[in-house]
Amino acid sequence: MQFLRNQLDAIEEKVKDNKYLHTTFDAIHTFLYKPNHVSKASGGVHIHDGMDLKRTMFMVVVAMQLALLFGMWNIGHQHYAAYGVNAGLGDAMFTKFLYGMFQMLPLIVVANLVGLGIEFIFAAKRGHAVEEGFLVSGMLIPLIMPPAVPLWMVALATAFAVIIGKEAFGGTGMNPLNIALLARVFVFFAYPTEISGDIVWVDYAPNFINNILGLGVPAGAALADTFSGATPLALAAKGGWSNVLTQYSVSEMFWGTIPGSIGETCKPAIILGALMLIGMGIASWRIMLSMIIGAAVMGFLLNIGGEFISVSMLKLPEANPFFAVPWYYHYIMGSFFFAMAFMATDPVTAAQTNTGKWIYGFMIGVCGIIVRVMNPAYPEGWMLAILFCNVFAPLIDNYVIQSNIKRRLARGH
């Protein structure tokens, strides 16, 4: 390993005068090794820890891997099930995984090439080191997209999110909005047919790689008569909880063998990732717990007053069946846990004070359920709820800090 480091040091001397090559070298060098220059031990004012920002972001990516691996398999499983071929969970498991892997890898490659490419250019222009934040965003963006979203659309959404949402504000650590969610909201509003409706959540038409490798169903096969591609959320919006149970069981929704965004379906995999982040002190358990409480409170209130609210207050001709969905099933129907573990806890865009984290997470839980239940055009709420609360996070922290100052001043008089 020392030999490799010596070779890297020699290369640095050759590229230090070219800002683009040196930026590239610096990114690789600091990813492989900790910095050569560290704070001195004397003085007692510095924290000495092997977990720098790059390694922290890398561990967040590691925490997503179970959801990623399951998502790959589920892409293939939903594809085959749509045609009524190998529809059993244990049928052709490796073939399903290969199918999903070759569908997923291009999304990951495109998101990272575009996002990191833009960050390299901005870093070189500014004479800064390449920031590490996109390691997480580059994985999150593919995981929250439909499996068959066009690659050019992912590239365009990633470029928009990085340039407008991050670099325009100064780069990593300065962005007011979650970058991955900004990419998804761009696709949602710019190309709504590609990320809404039923059919988009199942990759029924394989990409060119899968065609070349012969993966997927035989040519000329027809979609099964029972195939709809509808997610549990879409079914609930149309007919309530009873309509969901006509197509999916609670077990299927919990384990994730349902259509949906690539990384959101398998709840045990996401929960394990969340526990990993909490155990390493990377993600805030306060935000996660308060988000769970907020969703429960609002879901319970809508269960109680659903008919009155939808008929009397919203002036609907009849009660919205989504109001009657039991509050505890909101956790497993969509992307609640994924949003809770990997989106709401973003350390840059979330509240920073401990009290603020409780308020911030609770607000996301409440707003997410409101959007999900009351918005018939979009029966999922976490994307909009988190972005909305991102905007209010600084205000929440300011309120908490000012309250603490006033309380301490009052004690001093």
Is residue 369 a contact partner of residue 381, using CB atoms and an 8 Å limit? Answer: yes
Whether the per-residue pLDDT at 156 is higher than 80: the answer is yes
pLDDT at residue number 293: 98
Give the pLDDT of residue 6.
63
pLDDT at residue 15 in the model: 57
Whether residue 412 has pLDDT greater than 80: no
Sequence-separated (6 or more) residues with CB below 8 Å from residue 139: 61, 64, 68, 108, 111
**What pLDDT does 227 receive?**
80
The tokens for 38 are 């560290």
User: HEC profile for 251-264?
Assistant: HHHHHCCCCCCCCC
**pLDDT (tens digit per residue) in 81-120:** 988 888 888 898 999 999 999 999 999 999 999 998 998 8
Place of tokens 């959801």: 67
270 and 337 in contact (C-beta within 8 Å)?
A: yes
Q: Give residue limits of the domains in the chain.
A: 2-32, 53-219, 242-413
Reported as a single tens digit per residue, the pLDDT across 275-312 is 999 999 999 999 999 999 999 999 999 999 877 787 77
Q: Are 194 and 169 contacting, i.e. CB atoms less than 8 angstroms apart? A: no
Q: What is the pLDDT of residue 210?
A: 84
Q: How far apart are CA 77 and CA 290, in angstroms?
A: 34
Q: Give the model's confidence band at 375: pLDDT under 50 very low, under 70 low, under 90 confident, else very high.
A: confident
Average pLDDT over residues 187-197: 84
The reported pLDDT for the residue numbered 301 is: 93
What pLDDT sits at residue 222?
A: 81
Residue 73: predicted pLDDT: 96
The phi and psi torsions of 187 (rounded to 5 degrees) equal: -65, -40
Say what the pLDDT of residue 206 is. 81
The pLDDT score that the predictor gives to residue 28 is 59
Interior angle at CA 43, CA 38 and CA 45, nearest 5: 70
Q: What DSSP string describes 321-357?
A: GGGGS-GGGHHHHSSHHHIIIIITT-TTTS--SHHHH
pLDDT above 80 (res 4): no
On whether the CB atoms of residues 150 and 203 are closer than 8 A, the answer is no
Q: What is the Cα–Cα distance from 186 to 174, expressed in whole angstroms?
A: 20
- The pLDDT assigned to 124 comes to 78
* Residue 325, pLDDT score: 93
Other CB atoms within 10 A of residue 66 CB:
18
pLDDT value of position 199: 78
CA 412 – CA 356 distance, rounded (Å): 24
Rounded to two decimals, what is the model's pTM? 0.87
Who wins on pLDDT, 45 or 185?
185
The predicted-structure confidence for 11-65, as pLDDT tens digits, reads as follows: 666 656 555 555 565 555 565 555 555 555 555 555 555 555 667 888 999 999 9
Per-residue pLDDT, 411? 84
Helices 151-165 & 179-190 angle (0-180, nearest 10): 120
Q: Report the pLDDT averaged over residues 225-236.
A: 85
The pLDDT value recorded for residue 217 is 80
Range name among 159-168, 311-320, 363-372 with the lowest pLDDT average: 311-320
pLDDT value at 9 more than 80:
no
pLDDT for position 350:
95
CA atoms 342, 79, 253, 201: torsion sign = positive
Q: Which tokens belong to 309?
A: 């609210």
Cβ contact 380:339 at 8 Å: no
